[in-house]
Amino acid sequence: MQRRLYQGRDFRRAQNIEELREMARRRLPNFSFEYVEGGSDDEVTLKRNRAIFESVTLQPRTLRDVGQRTLERSFFNKPAQLPFMVGPTGFNGLLTQDGDLQLARAAANAGIPFVLSNASTTSMEDIASVDNIRAWMQIYLYRTRDHVARLVERAQRLNLEAIVVTTDSAILGNREWDKRNYVKPLLLDVRNHLDVLCHPRWIWDVLVPNGVPRFKNLGDLLPPGQDTVKGAASALAAELDPSLNWDDIAWLRDMWRGKLIVKGMIHPDDARLAMQYGVDGVVLSNHGGRQLDGAVSAMETLPEVARICRGQMEVFLDGGFRRGSDIAKALLLGASGVLIGRAGIYGLAAGKGPGAAHAIDILRNELDRTLGLLGCCRLEELTPDLIHAPHWRALAEAIRN
Residues catalogued as catalytic: 287
90 in a known ligand binding site: yes
234 in a known ligand binding site: no
321 in a known ligand binding site: yes
In sequence order, what are the beta bridge partners of 79?
74
Q: Would you say 86 and 103 are in contact if contact means Cβ atoms under 8 Å apart?
A: yes
117 in a known ligand binding site: yes
Neighbours of 16 (CB within 10 A): 16
318 in a known ligand binding site: yes
29 in a known ligand binding site: no
Instruction: Give the burial string for 57-88 (b: 16+ CB within 10 Å, else e).
Output: ebeeeeeeebeeeebebebeeeebebbbbbbb
336 in a known ligand binding site: no
322 in a known ligand binding site: yes
Pairing mode, if any, of strands 114-116 and 135-140?
parallel
> Helix H segments across 283-381?
298-309, 324-332, 342-373
285 in a known ligand binding site: yes
Give the distance from CA 205 to its chain's centroid: 24
122 in a known ligand binding site: no
CA dist., res. 262 & res. 247, Å (int)? 13
Kindly report the backbone phi and psi dihedral angles of residue 310, in degrees, each rounded to the nearest multiple of 5, phi listed first: -50, 120
The DSSP symbol for 207 reads: I
267 in a known ligand binding site: no
199 in a known ligand binding site: no
97 in a known ligand binding site: no
Instruction: Give the burial string for 244-253 (b: 16+ CB within 10 Å, else e).
Output: beeebbeebb
91 in a known ligand binding site: no
The set of residues, in sequence order, having a beta carbon less than 8 Å from that of 179 and lying 6+ positions away, is none
319 in a known ligand binding site: yes
Rg, Å, the chain Cα set: 21
In sequence order, what are the beta bridge partners of 178?
none
E strands present in 37-188: 73-75, 78-80, 84-86, 114-116, 135-140, 162-166, 182-184, 187-188
290 in a known ligand binding site: yes
Binding residues: 35, 88-90, 117, 138, 140, 166, 175, 263, 285, 287, 290, 318-322, 341-342
Binding residues for glyoxylate: 35, 140, 175, 263, 287, 290
Binding residues for FMN: 88-90, 117, 138, 166, 285, 318-322, 341-342
